[in-house]
Amino acid sequence: MSQGSHAFAALNPRLREGLTLTSRRGMLKASLAGMAGLSLPGLLRAREAALKAGRPMDGNRAVILLWMAGGPSHIDTLDPKPDQPENNRGPFGVIPTTHPGIVICEHLPKYARLTDKLTLIRSVDCRESNHQPNTVMQTGVRAAEPRINPEARHYPALAAMVGKWHGAGHPAMPPAVALNVRDRTHFAWSGWLGDAHEPMVGDDAAKLFQLPEGLTLDRARGRRTLSQQMDQLRAGLDRAGVVDAMDGFGQRAFDLVAGGRAQGAFDLSMEPQAVRDRYGPHPWAQKALLARRLVEAGVSFVTLDLSNHSASGTWDTHGDKFPPYGGIVSGLKPLLPVFDHLFTTLVLDLEERGLLRDVLVIAMGEFGRSPEMGTQGSPDGRNHWAQVMSMTMAGGRFRHGQVIGSTDRDGGQIHDRPVTPGDIAATLFYHFGIPLDATYPDHRGRPRYIVEHGEPLRELI
């Protein structure tokens, strides 16, 4: 054989693509390499495994996690203390809700009118939770805090576990998507579950489904045909299973890109202008609309980071001496009307479309804020406070219209009904029908339970 020639010369593998098929690596490149969909076969493979195992796929169950990175102040939002001294109660007034005797911050009027559809939890025990990385509450595991546990980064995100045990609601969609990824430390990732269950970063939808320069769908279809032709040439090739897997999952990844379902779901221009106007122009609100489109199309878990920057999080309101956070008035106050609008618009939109029974909406951060104002020399902010935080749930066929738990007089400690990270994880898995005693192997092959020290919130069931 002359120099540079090879067994597949008749297929002209070097023409246009510049590839030499002298190895399995070359073959994989020739089939689908370079396409945006090539990152999806692992996710599709996980979906296939879930279906074969007969795991519950009831309806189009989904979660939208509105992640308030930085730690929103519970006292200045959902658990105000209006009868306390100003340094404790803060600068905001209160308004009544649909629950008799329950008040919240005056800057959340739309939320206050919607509380009959919500569950407000005022007693979340988030000890050990921190940010950058924001892992304890997003994994449901207290040990997932890298400052105290070197294995913390390996605990898989709730989103990744839903992808593994439930899969996507539609086979042409990824199971989990992360939106507004300003900094990867704002998210938990797949950890011990492996890259196949990594949530898709979906911020730049155009690039997700954009073919590389010079590659058209016709040429990509040609690559797929080439892969099919190679079936006839496999007798002397490595039969380790990689090429076989690429045929099936690579084909479906191609179909995802070329078929248009996922591409359409990420395209907000396909949404009626009236709906886009209803959500409004704020980037967070537009991402909330995108989250609705994604779960409607079959994504099972969407995490939306409500942040404006890549530092510790926009809700980290330490005070005016700590830009870009600001204090309670300068930092938190401008965020509340935006959250109030996007959260209530999202919940009502899901309800009107008949989706709210299947979609659980969760709004929370990684911890609350200190009872007393004044941190690190800044009189108008609050410090981290992992002893307690407030959060909200809506939808998901649960019993809402209630308040769970309470804090003491100044909001510094839980008074009754502590809710743990494990309880939140168990409630979320219950929503999907995922067995709460499921396990996954860690790096030593030891089984790890997907729920640690938690059970579904009995008040919701």
Superfamily designation of domain 59-209+265-449: Alkaline Phosphatase, subunit A (3.40.720.10)
For residue 425, what pLDDT is reported? 98
Model confidence, pTM: 0.82
- Residue 427 in this model has a pLDDT that exceeds 90: yes
pLDDT(270) > 90? yes
Greater pLDDT, 36 or 247: 247
Per-residue pLDDT at 266 exceeds 50: yes
Taking only the tens place, the pLDDT of each residue in 284-330 is 999 999 999 999 999 999 999 999 988 899 999 999 999 889 999 99
% of the chain surpassing 70 pLDDT: 75
Write down the pLDDT at residue 44.
Answer: 54
What pLDDT score was predicted for residue 259? 56
| Banded pLDDT at 49 (limits 50, 70, 90) | low
Tens digit of pLDDT for each residue in 335-360?
Answer: 999 999 999 999 999 999 999 999 99
In this predicted structure, the answer to whether residue 449 has a pLDDT above a threshold of 70 is yes
CB 27 within 8 A of CB 265: no
pLDDT in the model for residue 214: 61
In Å, what is the CA distance from 48 to each residue of 57, 191, 266, 316, 361? 12, 20, 23, 40, 26
User: Is residue 436 within 8 Å of residue 104, measured between CB atoms?
Assistant: no
Among 62-66, 137-141, 221-225, 242-246, the least confident range: 242-246
* pLDDT for the residue numbered 203: 77
Q: Out of 165-174, 289-298, 431-440, which region has the weakest mean confidence (pLDDT)? A: 165-174
pLDDT band at 263 (very low <50, low <70, confident <90, very high): confident
31 vs 97: which has the higher pLDDT: 97
Predicted local confidence at residue 8, as pLDDT: 35
For residue 397, report the phi and psi dihedrals to the nearest 5 degrees. Answer: 60, 20
- Worst-scoring range by mean pLDDT, 17-21, 311-315, 322-326, 368-372? 17-21
Whole-angstrom Cα distance, residue 425 to residue 229? 47
The residues near 325 (Cβ < 8 Å, ≥ 6 apart) are 70, 311, 312, 314, 316, 317, 318, 319, 331, 381
CB atoms closer than 10 angstroms to residue 439: 12
CB-based contacts of 150: which residues, under 8 Å, 6+ apart?
none
How far is Cα 187 from Cα 300, in angstroms, rounded to an integer? Answer: 17
- How much is the pLDDT for 223? 54
Closest CA to 288 of 220, 361, 221, 387: 361
pLDDT grade for 209, boundaries at 50, 70 and 90: low
Question: Among 105-119, 167-181, 287-301, which is the least confidently predicted range?
Answer: 167-181
Residue 197 near residue 160, CB atoms below 8 Å: yes
Say which range, 90-104, 177-191, 236-250, has the weakest mean pLDDT. 236-250
Over 60: is that where the pLDDT of 246 sits? Answer: no
Instruction: Encode pLDDT of 97-110 as tens digits.
Output: 999 999 999 999 99
When the pLDDT of each residue in the chain is averaged and rounded to a whole number, the result is: 84
Domain spans of the chain, in order of start? 1-33+210-259, 59-209+265-449
Q: In the prediction, which pLDDT does 114 show? A: 98
